[in-house]
Chain A
Amino acid sequence: MARKISYKQAINEALDLEMRRDPTVIVLGEDIVGGAGAPGEIDAWGGVLGVTKGLHAKHGNRLMDTPLSESAYIGAAIGAAACGMRPVAELMFLDFMGVCFDQILNQAAKFKYMFGGKAKTPVVIRAMVGAGFRAAAQHSQMLTPMFTHVPGLKVVCPSNAYDAKGLLIQSIRDDDPVIFCEHKALYGAECDVPEESYAIPFAEANIVREGKDVTIVSYGLTVHRALDAAEKLAKSGVQAEVIDLRTLSPIDWDTVVESVENTGRLVVVDEANPRCSIASDVASYVAQNAFGALKAAPQMVTAPHTPVPFSPVLEDLYIPSADAIAAAVNKTTARALAA
């Protein structure tokens, strides 16, 4: 039955259920247990933010702390996947892709194709994404577009606990490599989540709010900002439809296009930097495939083309805000937002 648990607990539960179901599922990463070889407690951390806490007691050595050696252990997870395991490797912060990207870009993503279809690589790479933690330029980026660009990879970014559990279970059962992006600012967010196992299929966007005037497309944290914007807009008579993409590769183009065909207006909200982003991708797809339905030019609300700043006053400006989203909607409707 459903009860309220957090995004973080939902991820923990998905790992627990899948490890129980399938003995080939192993979990590895830096400090995912914590205290390996140290004189104190085992499971001291359960991950740097406690996401995997408690799993070691249930699954023992199927959880492995790794050295700070991302190339080696991300590659090992990929190699193990090619040899019949279903590893879930935690990269901690997706920003750390810089030190292990070859294994993801040139190995995991390519095996199936360059080996003529004879390989499969069912690996999941979990990592935190997003700003808002005052963690500055190297621990805060929304690097999703770097991965959606790569054929062979799947990219997932849930916005709530229900989706986090169902999408992680699907990611683990999926036979392709999946980059599972966890927005660190959502870890505490709770919603109703069934106790049972369930898998949410990929490429199925969620319409989180229905509206007839404008389509706001987003994913991750900014889905909530878009909903805030939609509430404000409703007060001035603008009914915004808010679409949570949930998976960025594959992506549910049909739901986006169908919605824009109904509303005639598109605003895409993306916490990534603007160039070659999810926002620009969605805007260009809609322009190409639903141009006739558009009543106004699509608008993008993204982070600026800058690194993530540290100082809270700057970081708060960096993340797309509800006001910025509402302002973009008003550009498409040419109607002023009531004060």
Chain B
Amino acid sequence: MNERIKPIVMPKWGLSMSEGKVTGWLKPAGTRVSVGDEIVEVETDKIAGVVEANEAGTLRRVIGAPDTIYPVKALIGVIADDDVPDADIDAYVAEYATHAAEEDDAQEAGPRYEFVETPAGRLRYARRGEGEPSVILIHGFGGDLDNWLFNIDALAEAGTVYALDLPGHGQSDKTVQEASLAGLSAAVTGFMDALGIASAHLVGHSMGGAVAARTALDHPDRVASVTLIGSAGLGEEINSGYTDGFVAAASRRDLKPVLEQLFHDPATVTRQLVDDLLKYKRLDGVDAALTALAAALFAGGRQSAVLAEALKATETPVLVIWGESDQVIPATHAGVLGTRARAEIISEAGHMVQMEKANRVNELMLAHIRT
């Protein structure tokens, strides 16, 4: 294997993804690319996304044909410098298939999800990586641990990463014992207790950000840092059209336009994403949980808990990340902590910035966790 030849493969976005469809190349063969450049659009049955360059070089081969489905890890393109001979690249491509197949089984061996009993009920979580530090990913209102599917593996380079489903969400118990930030925060610390995690970096998205902030305020000794992504808890405004619409939607027709507000590019919302959320929303207890949380946290289109001033008074390191075109919580909230936090506003991204600009968000989070 020529180490100067770098593969572009069909990514694995989340554990359930087994294949993806190349929908179009954003860069033609022969283009020079830098790390982070968007190269090729891929659609899974759950979500549409963009594969970014992990290496700099020239896009020497475009292999994945548009509108064609490839298994995860299949070679869909090749990056190499201009001086690598074509013959070497052809040999690399020819050899690649067998190479990929060998790696397959080991990665699938671990369980997709685990469950743990906590005082807040039975919670589902995913775990990646090992060793210190611990990182806990906390999704937002109506979300679940799959909201981190582009992040969890990347963060596992830094330590042990946990992504949990909050009570009332995902596949955790649907009863929310206390529909408040304090109640959700207690669920997070209960989760930490149950898994023997003394202290962790908390990463929260949207409502999960407010939960992370609440936890940092109440248990500064257990929170090494917080990362707030498109976070609640930093200002009053919130788009009630989104929160109320999400609670009320009972059909694909109602839910799809609501979900489209989550993304900079509404085409990201696939049929399967809508169907999966509908399947969740139909479960007994979910409607009651979401209704109670929305009433407690976002009644009348105002956030009931603004923690910005309190957070400023702590010493916990804070990173704030926002998608510039966030339609749920305005990106202006990113600056409210002033010099107290590093704030990054990312263009061409909406509320689900950690999915839409995963590479950039992962970079920022890794740097934050490692300092």
Contacts and interface: CB of A to CB of B under 8 A. Distances in A.
A and B touch in the complex (CB under 8 A): yes
A175 interface: no
Interface string A289-323: 00000000000000000000000000000000000
B247 to A, nearest CB: 15
Contacts of A206: 275
B290 to A, nearest CB: 14
Range class of the B interface residue count = 10 to 19
Contact of B284 (A197, A200, A204, A207): A197
B351 interface: no
A198 B252 contact: no
Contacts of B171: 1-2, 194
Interface in B174-199: 174
A255 B250 contact: no
B96 interface: no
A1 B171 CA distance: 6
A127 to B, nearest CB: 25
A204 B249 CA distance: 12
Given A1-B113, A207-B271, A194 B252 contact: no
Contact of B253 (A1, A194, A199, A255): A255
A257 to B, nearest CB: 12
A1 B279 CA distance: 12
Interface string A169-203: 00000000000000000000000001011111100
Nearest to B124: A1
B253 A254 contact: yes
Nearest to B275: A206
B271 A194 contact: no
Nearest to A17: B284
Contact of A194 (B113, B250, B251, B283): B283
Nearest to A194: B283
Given A201-B250, A210-B271, A254-B253, A194 B124 contact: no
B252 A207 contact: yes
Contacts of B252: 204, 207, 255
A166 interface: yes
B284 A201 contact: no
Interface string B249-281: 011110000000000000000010001000100
Range class of the A interface residue count = 10 to 19
A249 to B, nearest CB: 17
Contacts of B271: 207, 210
Interface string B219-231: 0000000000000
A196 B251 contact: no
B302 interface: no
A196 B174 contact: yes
Contacts of A2: 171
B360 interface: no
Contacts of A197: 283-284
B282 interface: yes
B251 to A, nearest CB: 5
Most chain A CB within a 10 A radius of its CB, from B113, B251, B275? B251
B283 A198 contact: yes
Nearest to B172: A1
B282 A199 contact: yes
Contacts of B285: 196
Interface string A1-28: 1100000000000000000000000000
Contacts of A200: 282
Most chain B CB within a 10 A radius of its CB, from A2, A166, A198? A198
Nearest to A239: B67
Nearest to B251: A204
A198 B174 contact: no
B282 A166 contact: yes
Interface in B68-116: 113, 115
Interface in A1-59: 1-2
A335 to B, nearest CB: 17
Contacts of A199: 282, 284
7 contacts: A1-B171, A196-B283, A197-B283, A199-B282, A200-B282, A201-B251, A201-B282
Interface of B: 113, 115, 124, 171, 174, 250-253, 271, 275, 279, 282-285
Interface of A: 1-2, 162, 166, 194, 196-201, 204, 206-207, 210, 254-255, 258
9 residue pairs, one from A and one from B, having the closest CB atoms:
A198-B282, A197-B284, A198-B283, A1-B171, A196-B283, A204-B251, A201-B250, A210-B271, A207-B271
Given A197-B284, A198-B279, 9 more contacts: A194-B283, A196-B284, A200-B282, A201-B251, A201-B282, A204-B250, A204-B252, A206-B275, A258-B253
